[in-house]
Amino acid sequence: MVEIGIVGLDTSHAESYAVAIQNHPETSLAGVWDGGAVRDRVYARAYSERNGASLYAEPLEMADDVDAVMILTVDWTTHRDLAIPFLREDVPTAIDKPIAGSLEDVRAIRTAAGETPLFGGSAVPYHPSLRSVEVAGDGRLFYGVGYGDPFYYGCHVVDAIRFLSGHRWASVAPTDGPGRSVDVVFVDGSHATVRLDGESDRETFTFVGVGDETMVRVVGTSDGDLEGMYRGYLNAFVEAITGARKATGERILDAATLLLGANAALETGQTITPTSDSLAAYSVDGRAFLEDYQPYY
């Protein structure tokens, strides 16, 4: 049995992943820590008791009692400090989206991970309709439309586009399209146009891939959609923990950097590359987002 610890109960993800963990035949929820930024101690105690997990006073105290951890705090500026101690203890670690708010944090997480399995980011790429998609051919084009906050929710569409591309990004630039839209070039020459802030009342993510054939996928937020995403995400994380899947963190960290680059391009009006000084200087403060955040449940 793979024993998993959850670090941070801020969002609805903690409840959703608890259900996924309990329903998985090879996993159990063994440890919980919460810093109190969103939930109170009564909630944390009830959550741990309801899931049969130990509640810890400090996150790293669970390191010897679990096989892996999931960092689920809503304030992404906490992810670096929470994840790195576990990575240094060789504990396989999943970091929820958005992974980081600065290039410095991404680099620090990458360095700390070393050979330790590193997983995370958005669950959207693990939706059943996207997991097996392959867009083949030369001169591939991708389109993605998300909704809501261009960083916190924009992560979903950026992660999925990076997953579909299968290659590192080379540049990202603002477009004249509607809303907060960017054009992305990947190192294999494929292109993507991504709108980070589509209509919020639709709460869907739409993806188009054009290659030898054209694929269209719409990922919704129904209970069935969410359950399928979380199940697929957990299955992949378990494979990373057990060594059945290689999890170097390369794709998720590249996607995290692309998310920063896309928002930097929109803010500065410049074309951003992975080595741009503008990207190195750019940051998004998760604490400001936290101040207005309310969990769904």
Contact 109, 99 (CB under 8 A): yes
- Domain regions of the chain by residue span: 2-123+225-248, 125-221+255-290
- The answer on pLDDT for 132 being more than 80 is yes
> How much of the chain exceeds pLDDT 70, in percent?
100
Contact 208, 215 (CB under 8 A): yes
- The answer on pLDDT for 99 being more than 90 is yes
* pLDDT tens digits along 219-248: 999 999 999 999 999 999 999 999 999 999
Tokens found for residue 163: 């997953």
Q: Kindly state the helix (H) or strand (E) to which residue 26 belongs, with its residue range.
A: none
- The answer on pLDDT for 50 being more than 90 is yes
Contact 121, 97 (CB under 8 A): yes
* pLDDT tens digits along 69-80: 999 999 999 999
Q: d(Cα 275, Cα 278) in Å, to the nearest integer?
A: 9
Amino acid identity, position 103 = L
CATH for the stretch 2-123+225-248: 3.40.50.720
Contact 161, 145 (CB under 8 A): no
The mean predicted confidence, pLDDT, of the chain is: 96
- The answer on pLDDT for 194 being more than 90 is yes
pLDDT on residue 91: 99
Contacts of 266 (CB under 8 A, 6+ apart): 150, 174, 180, 182, 196
Tokens found for residue 153: 């929710």
Amino acid identity, position 227 = E
- The answer on pLDDT for 146 being more than 80 is yes
pLDDT on residue 199: 78
* pLDDT tens digits along 77-95: 999 999 999 999 999 999 9
pLDDT on residue 213: 93
Q: 2-123+225-248 and 125-221+255-290 share one CATH topology?
A: no
For residue 187, what pLDDT band results from cuts at 50, 70 and 90? Answer: very high
Topology of the domain covering 125-221+255-290: Dihydrodipicolinate Reductase; domain 2 (3.30.360)
The average pLDDT across 10-28 equals: 97
Q: Which pTM value belongs to this model? A: 0.97
pLDDT on residue 172: 99
Name the strands in the sheet holding 169-174, side by side, starting at the edge strand that comes first in the sequence: 169-174, 181-186, 191-195, 141-145, 205-210, 214-219
**Each residue of 7-41: b (16+ CB within 10 Å) or e?**
bbbbbebbbbbbebbeebeebbbbbbbbbeebbee
